[in-house]
Amino acid sequence: MTEFVSQSEAPVVAIIGGGFSGLLTAIHLLERDPAVVVRLVEKAERFGLGRAYAAANDEHLLNVRASNMSAFPDRPDHFTAWLAVNGGAGDGFVSRGRYGEYLQGLLRHAVRKDAGRLLLEQDEAVDLVFADGRLSVKLAMGRSFEAHAAVLAVGLAAPPSPIDEGAKLVPPRYFANPWTLDPEQVPSGDILLIGSGLTMVDVALSLARDDRRFTVVSRRGLLPQSHGAASITPIPDGSLETPRQALTTLRRHARIVGWRSAVDSIRPLTPAIWRRWSLAERRQFLRHGRAWWDVHRHRMAPQVADRLADLALGDRFEVLAARIQRLEPQDEGLRASLIHRGQAAKDRRDFAAAINCTGLSGDLFRLPLFAALARQRRVRPDRLALGIDVDDDLRVVDADGAAMPGLYAVGPLTRAARWETVAAPDLRSQTEELAATVLSDLARTCSAREGPARLIQARRTPPP
């Protein structure tokens, strides 16, 4: 059954993905326009959490202090005020589950305040069909509804297997998706964690117990740095025009103000710096500088760093700079063939299990919705394979390189355009910006005579 909208009805914006980015975009749309209707589509059981804030483990802490985790750029004390009322205080690193409660509160408030204008669709969007000036959102359970614009806010795909053999191994030997991991399924013994970023940190803390030991393997063997004392400092004095110049400038600045303050000083400038770099320079950064930037930019809470240090002191946590050439099943567990960085000889080690912690993937076209949009030539991957192609205002770019009002993206999907699209302080500004763009496009393209349903115009007949 399809639910239709008429030209005389209020504009309807479909938001595909009900995590942080989708929820905040919905709230900004509702606050800015008293007429707009938002239909928020989320396949998970709970809205507003996404992968980041759905974890129930109290040891999974935010990577940003509470004072910088307000959902609203113009209300910096919003989260700390909520904490004060709800049994917390101070400027520490609260649990992700606690932050999820905050987002759930925002959702409940929006549903009550904007009754009838925020509609929750617990289902998976599997296609967006553009025809006859309309947009139809197809859902997995067989229903569909029409809208005047759609925002893709689904985050990124689950990590791909780092090696071919990963697809042939199954639990309890190999766990492909760390976000669906059941700690009780993981055996005791030496556990191989593939990848050394913040995903690995969460997995290690979830699994830590006396009968498990962790061996972490990544190409460079770099762990996220810890938060520490940092002061607000002016932007560095020097060129940031190329990755090499930016590195030189930051190193010089760090010697004066400390590396944490130096990195923080350019955070407001990062999207602009990224845009100025050529495609070749961005590729150069991703190849040579990304790993170093990530471990200094995306830091662990001090309590988390202390927990890992305790595991290492107890000989239960080891980090190797190596790549995995092969994983082979054994009678109990598996055998990994490792090649250490700078060496040619193989190092074979046996493990009770391996867990893929390499992080989210930009290969979205494995997902039903993006596969369907690609068949219609409505989307294309960006040239850095980080997500999908969008213009400077976050309108989705189609296979012919044209961006049209009516289809937008927000959050990690847009990394190639903005780079900093993961942390809440960056996303809250992006969602506010996108809401303004969507409403501006609706106002500009919808005349009073035609109504908002004329916003979506099909460029071509979709291929059969």
Q: Rounded to whole angstroms, how far apart are CA atoms 257 and 148?
A: 50
Tokens of 385: 């394979």
What percent of the chain stands above pLDDT 70? 91
Tokens of 236: 């560095």
The domains of the chain, with CATH numbers, are: 2-157+361-454 (3.50.50.60), 164-224+299-356 (3.50.50.60), 243-297 (no CATH)
pLDDT at 457: 40
Window from 276-285, 443-452, 455-464 with minimum mean pLDDT: 455-464
Tens of pLDDT along 319-328?
999 999 989 8
pLDDT at 156: 77
What is the 3-class SS of the chain, one letter each residue? CEECCCCCCCCEEEEECCCHHHHHHHHHHHHHCCCCEEEEEECCCCCCCCCCCCCCCCCCECCCCHHHCCCCCCCCCHHHHHHHHCCCCCCCCCEHHHHHHHHHHHHHHHHHHCCCCEEEEECCEEEEEEECCEEEEEECCCCEEEECEEEECCCCECCCCCCHHHHHCCCCCEECCHHHCCHHHCCCEEEEEECCCHHHHHHHHHHCCCCEEEEEEECCCCCCCECCCCCCCCCCCCCCCCHHHHHHHHHHHHHHHCHHHHHHHCHHHHHHHHHHCCHHHHHHHHHHHHHHHHHHHCCECHHHHHHHHHHHHCCCEEEEEEEEEEEEECCCCEEEEEEECCCCCEEEEEECEEEECCCCECCHHHCHHHHHHHHCCCCCECCCCCCECECCCCEEECCCCCEEEEEEECHHHHHHHHCCCCCHHHHHHHHHHHHHHHHHHHHHHCCCCCCHHHCCCCCCCCCC
pLDDT at 447: 52
Does residue 160 or residue 345 have the better pLDDT? 345
Q: What does the pLDDT average to over 220-245?
A: 92
Is residue 8 very low, low, confident or very high in pLDDT (cuts 50, 70, 90)? very low
Q: Across the chain, what does the average pLDDT equal?
A: 88
Is residue 28 very low, low, confident or very high in pLDDT (cuts 50, 70, 90)? very high
Tens of pLDDT along 78-88?
999 999 998 77
pLDDT at 60: 82
pLDDT at 452: 44
> Is the pLDDT at 220 greater than 90, yes or no?
yes
Residues in the chain, total: 464
For 112, residues 6+ apart whose C-beta sits below 8 A from its C-beta are none
Does residue 296 or residue 158 have the better pLDDT? 296
Tens of pLDDT along 246-292?
999 999 999 999 999 999 999 888 989 999 999 999 999 999 999 99
pLDDT at 162: 72
What percent of the chain stands above pLDDT 90? 64
Do the beta carbons of residue 360 and residue 412 sit within 8 Å? yes
CA distance to 241, 243, 249, per residue, from 237 (Å): 12, 15, 7
Q: Rounded to whole angstroms, how far apart are CA atoms 117 and 38?
A: 6
> Is the pLDDT at 31 greater than 60, yes or no?
yes
pLDDT at 426: 87
Tokens of 67: 């004072």
Query: In this structure, which amino acid lies at residue 170?
Result: V
Is residue 424 very low, low, confident or very high in pLDDT (cuts 50, 70, 90)? confident
Tens of pLDDT along 411-421?
999 999 989 88
> Is the pLDDT at 462 greater than 50, yes or no?
no
pLDDT at 309: 94
Tens of pLDDT along 179-190?
888 899 999 999
> Is the pLDDT at 238 greater than 70, yes or no?
yes
Q: What does the pLDDT average to over 130-140?
A: 87
Does residue 394 or residue 131 have the better pLDDT? 394
Q: What does the pLDDT average to over 31-56?
A: 86
Does residue 450 or residue 318 have the better pLDDT? 318
Is residue 91 very low, low, confident or very high in pLDDT (cuts 50, 70, 90)? confident
